[in-house]
Structure 1
Amino acid sequence: MKLSPYPIEQSLGMQYYVCNSEGIQGVLREEAEDFIVHEISNEVKSSEESTGKYLICRLEKKNWELQRAVKEIAKILGVSHRRISWAGTKDKHAVTDQLISIYDVSETDIQNIQLKDITLTPVGRSNQQISLGDLQGNRFEITIRSCRAADIAASVAETNACVAEGVPNYFGIQRFGVQRPVTHLVGKQILLDRYDEAVNTYVGFPSEGEDESVAEARKAFLSDGDPKAALETLPVQMRYERAILHHLTEVPHDYEGALKRVPPKLLSMFVSAYQSWLFNQGLSHRIEVGHPLSAPALGDRVLFQNGKKDIVGESNINQATVLVKRGRAHICLEMPGEKTNPTHSTAEQHITTLMEADGISYASFKKAGEMTGMSFKGAVRRISVSAPVTSDVCDDTVHLSFSLGPGQYATTICREYMKADPIRMI
């Protein structure tokens, strides 16, 4: 076990590495082709008569954020972007392929789509749209360049064995905002009903490495709260911040309304990011007190393959230990929500303590759900992620190939190999 030396990881709860191997450092995503993601999806139920309402297409893209790509595709098709659905969001700075479904369009319509670094290929029709439940996982082909270590090959081999056993299933930095990780801070203010502070945080907090003029514009807004002045200085590509500011110029001090000018999914992501922050903090606390990732402790939640959950106690700890060792059950933490009942495990009690310190209760998630139009009931998440990794080392370049399940982050695996400043991983 090693403590991360990077303040940003510490602040986001990603406090430990469990692989004791020397970090190879290096740079991730030097080129888009260094981060290739192949979606692993459920088999699409095709319409035998090829008359299904949904056209299923394979979307291949490079350096495109998914939501933006979908909106551009919808614009060319002349339909609402809400007609397009998918199983999982993919990285922007990468080469990715995945299935999407588009309601009530023809194969001929798709031929009109010509966007740089986007390829859309019809593969069939279905009477069902693609949804989140259709995602089985993703296959990653990752290249890390400019590595440096006393023995890169030995370090990679040692980490391969460690990752196969299991590493902390942290939410990666992209969960909190790649360039400006503040989404969990915005979510905290929403949970506290401090919508003015949520706006100030989202619009006003600058970040390291941000363009100096943008950082100054953010600071000015924090200082004077003048939305008109901020609109004159913030770049047009910062569309969500500008949407909030436009609303405040039209309806001064309506901070709740201003927040609702951003897409509902993004609004809900703020609250979800706070839940993710709590999970990371709870997991790091569990590691800190010495509980291994591979063995349940009293009070832990365990999730079985059939979806059943149980709490580890004196009467079943031996059985739970055997089932976890055989891979038939997994140790989990619950990300808190309105229906959460925390166990007496050290990790979940730590999460409760953090919430109390922030002035947030489990009931806060219900009110946040009413404000965002989403539900935050809480959910369990495995504390560890493991994968057999195929690796290749050539001079100072390392290639990794592995698959992960839904909601698991490739950068969580990569950080155990690199142990580098997170800025080199985005």
Structure 2
Amino acid sequence: MSSDYSLVFPRAHGEPLGHAKFRAQPEDFYVDEDLGFTCDGAGEHVYLHIEKRGDNTEWLARNIARLAGVETRDVGYCGLKDRHAVTRQWFSVYFPKGDEPDWQALNSESVTLLAVERHRQKLRRGQHKSNRFVIVLREVQAQRDALEQRLQTVARQGVPNYFGEQRFGIDGGNLAAANRMLIEGIKVKNRHKRSLYLSSARSYLFNQVLAARIDQGCWRTPLPGDVLVDGAPTGPLWGRGRALSDDKALALEEQALAPWKPWLEPLEFTGLKQDRRALVSLPQQLSWQWLGDDLQLAFALGVGAYATAVLRELLELQTEPIML
């Protein structure tokens, strides 16, 4: 088992067709969260629909808790949205009785309150239906015909459902921390950090299996013994319990995870349960248009899928320093 946590994974549709500037400004990466349901209009939880620019989801949740006079744990949201972006998402606040604060006080140069509703349940992680992205890639240098053909392929076949690099921390730092926990037995008292490191480890193992299936040309094709979701193959999210796959699928997974065997048993004793994740991420309603030399993409992805998994199948991205 190597301590070099490579974050370079094989692509499914060939090498990048050129390069472009990515996130030159927050407005170049727009995310709109779709809950998939409407609020009841009554209940113990206040729902806040908020647009933020260049702000961290957890920071905003703490500000909401402070304004409401509640504990941070009483503020719910479906997921962490990119900081270097313009994002719209929902927050819930447990506020069963009493006079509500002036929620407009949340407004600032970077935060805009869009709506206030009431609902009967707290928002939970992963509860939303999808995220809608509008992404602008600047100064694209690629043959347009080839790039549009690649986009058509992605629309038909999808992309590998990799966990994005941000999952693993700067230079894979979360993986190094996970290794210290799992192998060296170092205790992490902070529950949030502990959960983050363990999640990073099992996400990395999933990526290893997905990479192996891409190398063997079967990332979209079910193998004997595969666990299918909507007819498509899945990969393991490691944890306690027997492997859910069997036969050739299990053999491939065991081979891919063999170098990481020292992580497997300790992960089983963390309380995490075996689970599965789709190997394929299919962008919904994928469209694009040229804005001079810039390319604007629009698409929706299901819960837990990364927009960067789509972009990496198209172009080499040059991340620009963001001015906030």
The two structures have a TM-score, normalised by structure 2, of 0.88
- Shift in Å at residue 424 of structure 1? 5.9
Instruction: Please give the per-residue CA displacement for 1:120-156, whole angstroms capped at 9, x wherever unaligned.
Output: 244321221122353101000000012212x2x2133
Q: Is the aligned partner of 1:303 residue 2:257?
A: no
Q: CA contact under 8 A between 1:167 and 1:386: conserved in structure 2?
A: yes
Which of 300, 304, 321 is the aligned partner of 1:407?
Answer: 304
Cα distance change on mapping 1:287 and 1:24 into 2, 3 Å:
same
**Residue matched to 2:257:** 352
1:282 pairs with 2:209: yes
Matching residue within 114, 124, 131 for 2:124? 131
- Indicate the SS of the match to 1:111: helix
The residue correspondences of 1:308-323 to structure 2 (distance < 5 A) are: none
Displacement after TM superposition at 1:420 (Å): 3.6
**Number of residue pairs aligned between Structure 1 and Structure 2:** 312
Q: Pick one of 275, 287, 309 that aligns with 1:379.
A: 275
Deviation at 1:350, TM superposition (A): 2.4
**Contact 1:27 1:425 survives alignment (8 Å):** no
* Cα gap change, 1:161 to 1:35, in 2 (>3 Å): same
Q: CA deviation at 1:361?
A: 3.4
2:88 & 2:217 partners in 1: Cα distance? Answer: 40
Alignment gaps of 5+ in structure 2 = none
Contact 1:143 1:397 in 2 (8 A): yes
CA separation in 1, counterparts of 2:256 and 2:177? Answer: 18
Q: Give the partner amino acid of 1:343.
A: D
**Which structure shows the bigger proportion of residues in helix conformation?**
1
Name the aligned partner's letter for residue 297 of structure 2. Answer: L
Q: Say if 1:418 and 1:340 are closer, same or farther in 2 by CA, change over 3 A.
A: farther
Equivalence for 1:191: 182
Equivalent position of 1:175 in the other structure? 167
Aligned-partner Cα distance in 2 for 1:89–1:166: 23
Alignment-derived partner of residue 88 in structure 1:
79
Contact 2:5/2:172, CA 8 A, preserved across alignment: no
Alpha-carbon deviation of 1:27?
1.5
Instruction: Tell me which protein shows more strand as a share of its residues.
Output: 2
Task: Say if 2:58 is the partner of 1:67.
Answer: yes
Listed one character per residue, the Cα deviations across residues 357-396 of structure 1 (whole Å, up to 9, x for unaligned) are xx2333x1243x2xxxxx3112101111122420112332
1:335 paired residue number: 237
Structure with bigger gyration radius:
1
The answer as to whether partners of 2:224 and 2:246 remain within 8 angstroms in 1 is: no
TM-score, reference length from structure 1: 0.68
The reply on whether 1:43 has 2:37 as its aligned counterpart is yes
One-letter amino acid of the counterpart of residue 194, structure 2: L
**1:303 counterpart letter in structure 2:** V
CA contact (8 A) 1:59 1:119 kept: yes
Task: Confirm or deny: 8 A CA contact 2:65 2:93 kept in the other structure.
Answer: no
Matched to 2:64, the amino acid is I
Instruction: Evaluate the alpha carbon distance shift between residue 35 and residue 67 of structure 1 in structure 2; reply closer, same or farther with a 3 A threshold.
Output: same
Q: 1:59 to 1:268 in 2, by over 3 A?
A: same
Which amino acid is the alignment partner of residue 297 of structure 1? L
1:58 aligns with 2:49: yes
Q: Which residue of 2 aligns with 1:204?
A: none
Deviations 1:1-55 (A, max 9, x none): xxxxxxxx9812x4222223752311111100000000011314414xx4x2111
Counting aligned pairs with the same residue, the percent is 28
CA change 1:395–1:354 in 2 (3 A) is same
Distance 1:380 1:181 in 2: 23
Partner secondary structure for residue 142 of structure 1: strand
Q: CA RMSD in A?
A: 2.4
